[in-house]
Structure 1
Amino acid sequence: MFLMQLLLLVCMAEVGCGLQVQCPAACICNATEATCVDSSLTEFPEGRFPSSLLKLDISRNNITRLDEYTIRKWMIVSLRRLNLSNNVISIINENSLIAQSGLEKLDLSRNKFTNIPLKTFVYPPRLQWLSLSYNGEIQVTEDAPLLESDSLLVLHLENCNLRKLSAVNLEKVVKLQELYISHNEIESMSTKTEGPGRSLMNIRILDVSYNQLQQLPPEVMSLPNLEELYLRNNKLKVLGEMKHPQQCCKVNFLTETEIRTV
């Protein structure tokens, strides 16, 4: 009897013995991963996924929106990584990710976003990596936060047609360590280094390459944890003095304009 129970447990652990994991028809699944890439989907795939699913890739489809129950109605609550890149998503409900308490990495690059509700990324509370790059119409209001997260460490906003980035835009992501905003049209940026709502205080890597910057504000050069600063292909003429030169180990810039340090 004990031997039979042991064999059954081994069988279940390996998802073998002729048992099939649950999987929508448009996808390929195993116990922890599912891929639905290039499946011509216009909606989130219908059908149950494995209850132990950790990684879901639905990239390169034609999904247009994420509603409040788009993901939750299929009882997906164990995800660590979700890839929705290369779709045509233009609408995302503020509560669409609220059940994903373990989600750590989310790729929403190459979609059609214009506005993203502020609290969309508050829940999941463990989200550390987010890409919104190549969403060329994201609207940023100078005096309002762009997004909010207490856990986010890495944010990608490349190729989003951004023209300005203010301290207020990032004041709700105070744990951010890496910010990638290259290949935009940014002419000016600022950060807040003191007082409530200070932004970028934990930043280690800042990439503002391929923008239209003519100068960097002094507060950027005085970020206390900055290790890598990428400035290549801007219009910089003056580079302020770093107040923490012993901490900043790399400044990378390539430009046609001569830069002088003051």
Structure 2
Amino acid sequence: MNLWLLLTLAALAECHYSCPDLCSCSVRTTEVFCGQSSLTRFPVDGLSPNTTQLSIQSTGLAAVTAHHLSMVPLLNNLQLYHNNLTSLPPDLLKGVPRLNTLDLTGNQLVHLPPNIFSHASLHNLVLKNNRIEKVDAEWFSVNSSVRWLDLSGNLLTGIPSALLLKLPHLQSLDLSNNNLQELQPDALTNLHHLETLNLARNQLTSLKPATFSHNLKLSHLFLQENQLRDLPATLLQGLQNLEHLLLNQNRLQYLPLGFLDEGGSSFMVILSLNPWVCDEKIEFLKKWLNAHPENVFFLDEVTCAGPEALKHRQVASLTDSELGLLKLEMG
């Protein structure tokens, strides 16, 4: 009986804090998950102060305050995605200094106040699929600890250099699915640890030669589904760690001589769905494709858009005579 009593008391001690209504909790209530659409308020009642991971997703939650989060001072992972949040208070993270990951995917956020992310030692920040039109350098403190920043799926038309200057530890930056039309020449100069950069599905028409010259650890570069018409010959210079380069679905007609020789020797590339013009200027690309077929995803989809006689032909299959190269040599 005494043993049973001790076990009962131990169980009661662990369950001193009941699980909040409309939520489920781990045995020790350190992980809390709330995913009921009928949840409209922050689940304060029953929330253990020992909570380290809190996930509130696909609910009717419309507000969260610093007071709410002060109930869980040990929190290190907060997921608030697919709710109805339209704004956040500037002191939101003041009571959770240990917070490492904050995910706000799929809310209705438009504007965020200054210093919103300067009160916690965040490493991972996800603001994906909101309605943010402008990013503000004042969101962060100088020398912010953020390493992973996801701003994809918003309404951004630009990214200020001042913001990225405050993020020297950044390893992954996702700006895909926005309306970016250009990158400031010095935008990425302070990102010496950047390994993954996603600029896919924007409106970029060109890139400066030195755009990535300070990002020598870059291994994954996603530029697909933009409006790029041409690329500087030295764009990839120094990127010896490059593993993946995606350039598909742009408006590229040629690649400059030596372009694909500038990066690392074994990176994988996607070049399909560009309007390649198959004349003498395509010679570099043709030779590179034939020399490195194992480095090209969807090689058979790298095809000519013109001239009419070569339309839909695979670039790698073209002969010198078809490109007019023999004629040029004889001339």
The equivalent of 2:22 in structure 1 is none
Matches of 2:143 and 2:50 in 1, distance apart? Answer: 25
Greater alpha carbon shift after TM alignment, 114-123 vs 80-89: 114-123
- Pairing 1:235–2:275 present: yes
One of 113, 116, 125 as aligned partner of 1:70: 116
Matches of 1:161 and 1:153 in 2, distance apart? Answer: 22
Greater alpha carbon shift after TM alignment, 185-194 vs 121-130: 185-194
The equivalent of 1:207 in structure 2 is 246
The equivalent of 1:3 in structure 2 is none
Q: Larger Rg: 1 or 2? A: 2
Given that 2:147 and 2:172 are in contact with CA atoms closer than 8 Å, whether structure 1 keeps it comes out as: yes
| Structure 2 residues without counterparts, runs of 5 or longer | 1-9, 15-27, 31-46, 55-62, 305-313, 321-331
> Greater relative contact order (Cα 8 A, min sep 6): structure 1 or 2?
1
Given that 1:66 and 1:91 are in contact with CA atoms closer than 8 Å, whether structure 2 keeps it comes out as: no
- Pairing 1:47–2:77 present: no
Shift of 1:188: 0.7
More helix by share: 2
For each residue in 1:237-257, what CA deviation from the matched residue of structure 2 results, as whole angstroms up to 9, or x when unmatched? Answer: 3215449x68x9511231342
Runs of 4 or more above 6 Å deviation: 14-17, 26-30
Given that 2:210 and 2:235 are in contact with CA atoms closer than 8 Å, whether structure 1 keeps it comes out as: no
One of 217, 242, 253 as aligned partner of 1:175: 217
Shift of 1:200: 3.8
Given that 1:174 and 1:199 are in contact with CA atoms closer than 8 Å, whether structure 2 keeps it comes out as: yes
- Tell me the TM-score normalised to structure 1 length: 0.77
| Structure 1 residues without counterparts, runs of 5 or longer | 1-6
Instruction: State how many pairs are aligned.
Output: 242
Shift of 1:193: 6.8
For each residue in 1:208-251, what CA deviation from the matched residue of structure 2 results, as whole angstroms up to 9, or x when unmatched? Answer: 011121111223221241411111111223215449x68x9511
Structure 2 CA distance for partners of 1:36 and 1:215, relative to 1, 3 Å: same
Matches of 1:96 and 1:63 in 2, distance apart? Answer: 14
Shift of 1:106: 1.0
What is the aligned-residue RMSD (CA, Å)? 3.5
Matches of 2:196 and 2:233 in 1, distance apart? Answer: 17
Matches of 1:43 and 1:174 in 2, distance apart? Answer: 37
Shift of 1:158: 0.7
